[in-house]
Chains A and B, each alone.
Chain A
Amino acid sequence: MPTPVIMPKVDMDQVESTIISWEKAEGDHVKFDETLLTVETDKVAIEVNSPGDGILSGILFNEGDVVPVATIIAYILKPGESLSDVENASASKHDKATKPVQEPVSTVEEKGKQASPIAVKVAKELNVDIRDVPSSNRIVSREDVEAYAATLVETSVPGFGPGSKIAATPAARRVSKEKNIALESLKGTGPFGRIQLKDVAQTAHSSTEPDAALQAEIVQMTGKRAHIARKMQSSFQTVPHIFETIEADMTRLEELRVRINENSISNGTSKVSLTAILVRLVAWALERNKYLNASLLDDGIHLWKEINIGVATTLDDGLIVPVIHNANHLSYSETALRLNELSQKARQGKIELSEVQRGTFTISNLGMYGITQFNAIINPPEVAILAVGASVRKPVVIDQHDNISVRPIVKFTLSADHRVIDGVVAAKFLADLVKVIEHPEILYE
């Protein structure tokens, strides 16, 4: 029996991967564990290796194809075997080799769409009919469900419960679907608050429809971009964000940094950036504010025991968030080292999956671009993200005698999930953070 090459699942909520490139071609002799192709998951690129020695045959998908996990994508033929062996076996047991073997996927009877089990589960919890969930992929994912559920949160019709149908004329439904306008974002002016065509038309005018006369270079929303889009939209729509900004005087921190880096030259350790220091200090603050280092899951709020801080990094093709695991157990230099390593790997496209997984808090720094303050979107399943602004030298009152001095001031904005974190809780975290920033020696107490 030919050995199937299966699209591997590497992430718990992964449903598919995009084939980036085939390293081997149809008919090539391959050895066990040789890389056959590279695929891109939501987060990283991974190599798929050969399950055995033999000839690579029956390649079913090409570069650029989006393939669901657990699908057979090719076969390894040992001497004497042929592809027809597969046909015969498949016919009797499961779908023919030409059809993707989905496993495990629930069937949603609508238009041949299928849904991942977790999507089905989440749909049930959110009281959403899985069959209503739109998806641009063959398999409805949890993100799709969450995104759709978010559109059902508010309705403009009294008497209709949350998550249930909105009153709209068939024409209004058709046009709003065509123009990709969510019905619940519209105000119906018809009887019973019914949304009519003209309500959609108003919005359509001021909405996302681009002027047909304009030219554009079209960038496909695939892979990472699509994943980020889904995640951010879902987070923005599902998570009730609160934003709190606090200013910190960075004088002491800058002194600290200079001092450490002086020694680094002689110690042979890496240069420590402000970000690296911040990671350590944020970890300290998180130790004392457990609710900021948590996730809201089905069974409740998980207050994570590890503090794994992701540092948002921008690459050409999008955002990546390498994670510094156990950030509260690393020294400044260790943190800096790790951070540098990760940045380099990221830039070279060599980040490993484990290096972007299991984050519990994220820091995003746009200070190098001169941004003084911004509100970041929380990175689910985390409950908070810290946006770091640029350091600006400004006059501040430095003592109770109203003496003024020019100090480097940074605005930190915390975005917090209000389902888990109340205003005061968020405030306390920020206060702690500013305290340790302005008095770094506290770290060693």
Chain B
Amino acid sequence: MPEITYAEAIRSALWEEMKQDERVFIIGEDIGVYGGAFGVTTGMLKEFGEKRIIETPISEPSIIGAAIGAALLGMRPVAEIMFMDFILLTLDQIGNQAAKMHYMFGGKATVPLVIRMPSGSGTGAAAQHSQSLETLLMHLPGLKVVTPSTPYDAKGLLKTAIHDPNPVCFVEHKLLYKMKGEVPEEDYQIPFGVADVKRAGKDLTIVTNGVMVHKSLAVANRLEAEGIDVEIIDPRTMVPLDTETIINSVMKTGKLLVVHEACETAGWAGEIMAIISSSRAFDYLDAPMRRLTGKNIPIPYNRVLEAAAVPQEEDIEREIRAIVRGDY
């Protein structure tokens, strides 16, 4: 099976969908000749022309607004917001408009829109270009929130997003763009609401997404030699969330650790823990549930501080050991 990068996987999903469906187009800043801030749309202007690769002025709210309007008329726009941080500018259009229209118009309007956004820290981009804000989006009913962690997941999920009649926020961790992975050549889609067991294990369940999936995997593989067997669940879609897989996993292992880059306070780890403690998995917990998250701080510029702001492999390892030891 061919190996391509996460960015290439996303591009191929866009490419294939645009080839198959006239209604699909991309709208965003610098997505033409420049190929998008992270190179995802490289080469697409040449293939599809400027009527379908629409470059805009720096007007994020109106980029989303335009996408909404087009979607209302049956088009399938994919809007690109250059950094997830900028969705804060667009919250009216995403939250008050796109998310609400189907409901407040009594089911009569559909907004089949995809908003792609690079997220996350680790590139020295500092406070306003490094956030993980999926929790904010999860909180707006009417939106779907997707956070793929591998090229395979990214391509299959993006295709599903484009076909979905609802507004979908597609969150791409920027450290993953260059990551390689096996991606089949045939057409495939990954359904929403199905978590992926990235690693099966029996001693502890880790629920995690984005780049933290890979950090967790690295640690888990190292700990295997010591007889610590960690199970890693990647929800892939935060909304809709596959609660069954997570519950079953915790019933098996009796221990839960949620790892995410997003800040701790009101971060989605709390959501998972609340779900578990009110599920039948409660009676199978053999230790307090734990979370390991980004600190409640803006992302710093300095490299060392930046690394300290979010969970790293040592942190994950320390936490796993402590849980398995029964420290808590």
Contacts and interface: CB of A to CB of B under 8 A. Distances in A.
Interface of A: 169-174, 189-191, 196-197
B200 interface: no
Contact of A196 (B283, B284, B287): B287
Contacts of A191: 326-328
B50 to A, nearest CB: 60
B285 A170 contact: yes
B301 interface: no
A174 B284 CA distance: 8
Interface string B307-328: 0000000000000000000111
B285 A169 contact: yes
B282 interface: yes
Contacts of A190: 287, 326
A218 B311 CA distance: 57
A170 B284 CA distance: 6
Interface in B273-287: 282-287
B230 to A, nearest CB: 18
B254 interface: yes
B286 A169 contact: yes
Query: What 8 pairs between A and B have smallest CB-CB spacing?
Result: A171-B286, A174-B283, A197-B286, A169-B286, A170-B283, A170-B285, A171-B284, A171-B254
A172 B326 contact: no
B63 to A, nearest CB: 48
Nearest to B277: A170
A43 B63 CA distance: 86
A196 B326 contact: yes
Given A169-B285, A196-B287, 13 more contacts: A169-B254, A169-B286, A169-B287, A170-B285, A170-B286, A171-B254, A171-B285, A171-B286, A189-B326, A190-B326, A191-B326, A196-B326, A197-B286
Nearest to A196: B286
A167 B287 CA distance: 11
B328 A170 contact: no
Contact of A171 (B283, B326, B328): B283
A171 B281 CA distance: 9
Contacts of B285: 169-171
A169 B253 CA distance: 13
Nearest to A172: B286
Given A190-B326, A191-B328, A173 B283 contact: yes
Nearest to A189: B326
6 contacts: A170-B282, A171-B284, A171-B285, A171-B286, A189-B326, A191-B327
A9 to B, nearest CB: 39
Interface string B286-298: 1100000000000
Contacts of A174: 283-284
B228 to A, nearest CB: 15
A196 B328 CA distance: 11
Nearest to B285: A170
Contact of A197 (B254, B327, B328): B254
Nearest to A177: B283
Contacts of B286: 169-172, 196-197
Contacts of B327: 191
Interface in B131-179: none
Contacts of A169: 254, 285-287
Contacts of B287: 169, 190, 196
Nearest to A174: B283
B143 to A, nearest CB: 34
A191 B328 CA distance: 6
Interface string B106-134: 00000000000000000000000000000
A228 B325 CA distance: 44
B37 to A, nearest CB: 47
A286 to B, nearest CB: 53
Contacts of A172: 286
Contacts of B326: 189-191, 196
Contacts of A196: 286-287, 326
Contacts of B283: 170-171, 173-174
Contacts of B282: 170
A170 B282 CA distance: 6
Contacts of B254: 169, 171, 197
A169 B255 CA distance: 11
A184 to B, nearest CB: 19
A172 B255 CA distance: 13
Contacts of A173: 283
Interface string B90-111: 0000000000000000000000
A197 B219 CA distance: 25
B10 to A, nearest CB: 42
A423 B320 CA distance: 55
B252 to A, nearest CB: 11
A48 B12 CA distance: 86
Nearest to B326: A190
Nearest to A200: B286
A189 B325 CA distance: 11
A196 B327 CA distance: 12
Looking at B285, B327, B328, which has the most chain A CB atoms within 10 Å of its CB? B285
Contacts of B328: 191
B254 to A, nearest CB: 5
Contacts of A189: 326
B221 to A, nearest CB: 25
A172 B285 CA distance: 8
Nearest to A171: B286
Contacts of B284: 170-171, 174
